[in-house]
Structure 1
Amino acid sequence: MPVYQQEQLLGLDDIQRVQQPAIHPGQSIQQRFEAFHALNPWVLRHLEALTQDCVAKGFRRVGIGMLFELLRWRYGEATHGDAFRLNNNFRSRYVRLLIERHPEWARLFETRALRAA
């Protein structure tokens, strides 16, 4: 049985319109990620819930790409008329946040050195 209930994960109280920060020339990916995350903290909460569900199901490895696509699909299922833009450049940053908040998950995710930009 999943750790989360679909109603909890898809609750309209928690899933909000995705807010895109203003992009300024010269901003790094990290700076853009931090601005996005500050405007959309619910994204991390949902990635945590999806990861916890994978852990409960016995997954030995979890791909952030899979989690992003699940979140996109569930978000699209819960809302109408909103273009959900979850930047793939933020995947590695979200993995690092997940591991920072849940060190026991480090074995689940593969990480590589961050590229500058």
Structure 2
Amino acid sequence: MPIPAQQNLPGLSVLPYARKPSTLAEQFEHFDREHPWVYCALEQLVSQRLASGARRVGMKALFEALRWRHPRGMKGLNNNYTAFYARQLLAAHPEWAPVIEIRRRRTP
């Protein structure tokens, strides 16, 4: 007697394997997709700092401000993402270039 096709049984479908992000850029893109509010919060913090007269804005300081304001919601916010967020902010707000310092990228 032939064995019924297993893949047609409910609950036994094979899900496609999701590759874990391996590069830092991939990890950032995954985090940014899962936490879109982080970018908005950083944008708001930069605007507030500039409105209060700041001449320089440090991304690491903004990350710490986010962690302080949202201690439970910041799981996964890696300090390695500061450069990615800085570049993302500058792409959207080129007028902020004099106040947000970025360095030359060492890796692609």
Q: Report the TM-score, using the length of structure 2 for normalisation.
A: 0.76
Q: Deviations along 1:4-33, whole A, 9 cap, x unmatched?
A: xxxxxxxxxxxxxxxxxx8737x2111111
Q: 1:95 to 1:23 in 2, by over 3 A?
A: farther
Segments of 4+ moved more than 4 angstroms: none
Aligned match of 1:86? 77
**Two-structure CA RMSD over aligned residues (Å):** 1.9
Structure 2, gaps ≥5 residues long = 1-17
Aligned positions, number:
91
The structure number with the bigger radius of gyration is: 2
Point out where structure 1 has 5 or more consecutive residues left out of the alignment.
1-21
Identity %: 43
Larger relative contact order (CA 8 Å, sep ≥ 6): 1
**Residues 65 and 83 (structure 1), Cα distance of their counterparts in 2 relative to 1, 3 Å cut:** closer
Question: What pairs up with 1:1-117 in 2 under 5 angstroms?
Answer: 24=20, 27-76=22-71, 79=72, 84-116=75-107
The change in CA–CA distance for 1:107 and 1:23 in structure 2 (over 3 A counts) is farther
